[in-house]
Chain A
């Protein structure tokens, strides 16, 4: 079982603040790193998939970076809005046909 860790577990920020959180994973068994956004009472939805060291992906105000050598990925949100409030999950794609999910970072953006 791959160990995928996310920090912090939860985060409160003011509207307009920028924020970031971390996903750590074992660098020795890396194939792909996924980020999902999970709103309360909904299903997780994919944000990014990254495979190469140094990858950087962007979607609007959200971006992510990947360092496979040291085993971490950062997710950044610029100018947080209340609608960004959600749990952000990262998941590691390894050698088996499955993803291993971290426990998530719960973001609350206060108006």
Chain B
């Protein structure tokens, strides 16, 4: 099992460009999450999908959209990138989305917006 995979690992964008970060998990997990990690701020939830077909906003959703393409895949889209979106992005999944479940994290995508 590959676990949670993310592509790309690194990306540099110019302000105003768009891009989609891809995430896939092969553990048959129901719930998937997108976080951003900034220095001194820990992990902040952008969007999550409790189950296939549903998505919900997290703490910092502005400037992002998501798609739960199927049970395996959950993508994060930046429609018009801004320098404030420079961050490391982590995707995670949980088996059932219960608060006692462990989250399994992908390797991260380091995004720089110039």
Enumerate chain A interface residues (CB-CB to B < 8 A).
Answer: 1, 9, 31-32, 34, 36, 42-46, 49, 51, 89, 91, 93-95, 97-104
**Is B48's CB under 8 angstroms from A101's CB?**
no
With known contacts A1-B59, A103-B41, A103-B42, A97–B102 Cβ distance under 8 A: no
Which one of B44, B100, B104 contacts A31 once the chains associate, using CB atoms below 8 Å? Answer: B100
> B97 contacts A49, CB within 8 Å?
no
Count A-B pairs with CB separation below 8 Å: 60
Residues of B30-49 at the interface with A, using a CB-CB cut-off of 8 Å, are 31, 33, 35, 40-45, 48
- The digit string for B17-38, where 1 denotes a CB below 8 A from any CB of A, is 0000000000000010101000
- Extra inter-chain contacts (16) besides given A89-B43, A99-B99, A101-B42, CB under 8 Å: A31-B99, A32-B99, A34-B103, A36-B103, A43-B106, A44-B90, A45-B105, A46-B103, A97-B98, A97-B99, A98-B33, A98-B48, A100-B45, A101-B35, A101-B44, A102-B42
A42 CB contacts on chain B under 8 angstroms: 107
Q: Contact: B90 with A49, CB < 8 Å? A: no
Q: Which of B4, B40, B43, B50 contacts A101 (CB 8 A)?
A: B43
Known: A97-B48, A101-B42, A102-B42. A49 touches B100 (CB 8 A): yes
Chain A residues contacting B48 (CB-CB under 8 Å) are 97-98
Nearest chain A CB to B90's CB is how many angstroms away? 7
Picked from B50, B98, B108, the residue with its CB within 8 Å of the CB of A43 is B108
Chain B residues whose CB sits within 8 angstroms of the CB of A93 once the complex forms: 98-100
Docked pose: A94 CA to B97 CA in angstroms:
11
Which of A1, A34, A89, A94 is within 8 Å of B102, CB to CB?
A34
* Pick from B42, B90, B100: contact of A32, CB under 8 Å: B100
Chain A proximity mask over B45-60: 1 for CB below 8 Å, otherwise 0: 1001010000000110
Distance from A76 Cβ to chain B, minimum over Cβ atoms (Å): 20
